[in-house]
Amino acid sequence: MGLHIDISAVMANYSALAAKAPGAGAAAVIKADAYGLGAARIAPALYQAGARDFFVALAAEGQAIRALLPDDATINVLSGHMVGEDLTGLVPVLNSPEQFFRDRAMRPGQPFAIQLDSGMNRLGMEAAEWAAIRTEALAAGPAFIMSHLACADEPDHPANAAQLAAFRAMTDGCNVPRSLAATGGILLGPDYHFEMVRAGIGMYGGMPYAEAQQAVTLSPRVIQTRDVKAGETVGYGASWRAERDCQIATVDAGYADGILRALSGTGAQMYAGDVACPIVGRVSMDLITVDVTALEVVPPTLDLICVHQPIDRLADLAGTIGYEILTSLRQRYQRTYP
């Protein structure tokens, strides 16, 4: 199985997103192993592209890449200061008064940041919590204050303007760098950019950044082909029946590799160059069956994620989002970085 990751495309997408917010620094979000693509390879490349601030979800993710980046790279931990975690060389983004007081007691003088809840009700201090500790927190010198938009991928959603107003109300006058926009927020325009933006899914070729370069190609191997006669069935549950004589290829990927079972019967296809080959039968744990009757010669691999079927097209078919498609890709793939 081949998972081909175009690092130059990731770097180009980062640079293009950064250019859309010229007055802000552009951080790189590399949580979940760089959205499943390999943070150990992606993070140093993004540093070369100009990123100096990086975001991970967990302290362990930050420690895994700390030695791979120069000392002037900052690795911010979105889960903040959790009990028992090693934050050496990392910057926790503190999400509650409890985290703030714990961090200041255990790490006096060490860098930290603050996350505020501007309306998503997920992570961050609510307005009343922030008001209660604002003076003390600002006196301690946070590196930045951030929040996160819930509906940035829907530009006309009223929650965007409401969160912007709430964030401004909580932070105006703080004289601390601020960050509100991830990929979708970058595309909303300069009102959302502040001093730092956070490039995430758009770097990896995902929506809502429609201009992104294709960064991922997934090419499972063909293990076997067989002739199937009209009326015969293929796969578990005999759910697909051939309407004509056809040739079926079996490829070496399945839901254990992150190819969602929900793709079964949706019209998802695999590609031999520009030729579409329908997936037939159910996606099983390790295998997918594909109708390759249209091919004169069956190649050694078929493409599932490619320019003809990018991650968000596959996500639409599976009833999910591109984020889940990327982060579901498992470690059995042989990753190459051409």
Say yes or no to pLDDT of 332 above 90.
no
pLDDT of residue 198: 98
* Whole-structure pTM value: 0.95
pLDDT of residue 256: 95
Instruction: Compute the C-alpha angle 184/324/321, nearest 5°.
Output: 55
Instruction: Compute the C-alpha angle 45/51/54, nearest 5°.
Output: 95
Per the structure block, which two tokens stand in for 92? 């926790």
- In this predicted model, what pLDDT tens digit does every residue of 283-300 receive, in sequence order? 999 999 999 999 999 999
Say yes or no to pLDDT of 90 above 80.
yes
The fraction of the chain above a pLDDT of 70, given in percent, is 100
Contact 236, 66 (CB under 8 A): no
- In this predicted model, what pLDDT tens digit does every residue of 120-131 receive, in sequence order? 999 999 999 999
Burial (CB count <10 Å: 0-12, 13-18, 19+), residue 312: buried
Give the pLDDT band (50/70/90) at residue 41.
very high
pLDDT of residue 213: 97
Contact 68, 43 (CB under 8 A): yes
Mean pLDDT across 209-235? 97
Per the structure block, which two tokens stand in for 155? 């530009």
Give the pLDDT band (50/70/90) at residue 338.
confident
Q: Which residue type sits at 225?
A: T
Mean pLDDT across 176-196? 98
Q: Which domains does the chain have, with CATH numbers?
A: 7-204 (3.20.20.10), 216-336 (2.40.37.10)
Alpha helices in the chain (DSSP H): 7-19, 31-35, 39-48, 59-66, 97-106, 127-139, 158-171, 183-188, 311-318, 322-328
Say yes or no to pLDDT of 43 above 90.
yes
Separation between Cα atoms, residue 195 and residue 193, nearest integer Å: 6
| Helix, strand, or coil (residue 223) | strand
- In this predicted model, what pLDDT tens digit does every residue of 143-180 receive, in sequence order? 999 999 999 999 999 999 999 999 999 999 999 999 99
Per the structure block, which two tokens stand in for 254? 């399945």
The set of long-range contacts for 80-86, using a CB threshold of 8 Å and a minimum separation of 24, is: 80/115, 81/106, 81/107, 81/112, 85/58, 85/59, 85/60, 86/59
Say yes or no to pLDDT of 1 above 80.
no
Separation between Cα atoms, residue 304 and residue 289, nearest integer Å: 12
- Measure Cα distances from 65 to 40, 125, 232 in Å: 6, 28, 51
Separation between Cα atoms, residue 132 and residue 130, nearest integer Å: 5
Give the pLDDT band (50/70/90) at residue 314.
very high
Mean pLDDT of the chain: 97
Say yes or no to pLDDT of 264 above 80.
yes
pLDDT of residue 209: 97
Separation between Cα atoms, residue 204 and residue 12, nearest integer Å: 10
> Any idea which residues carry the catalytic annotation?
31, 236
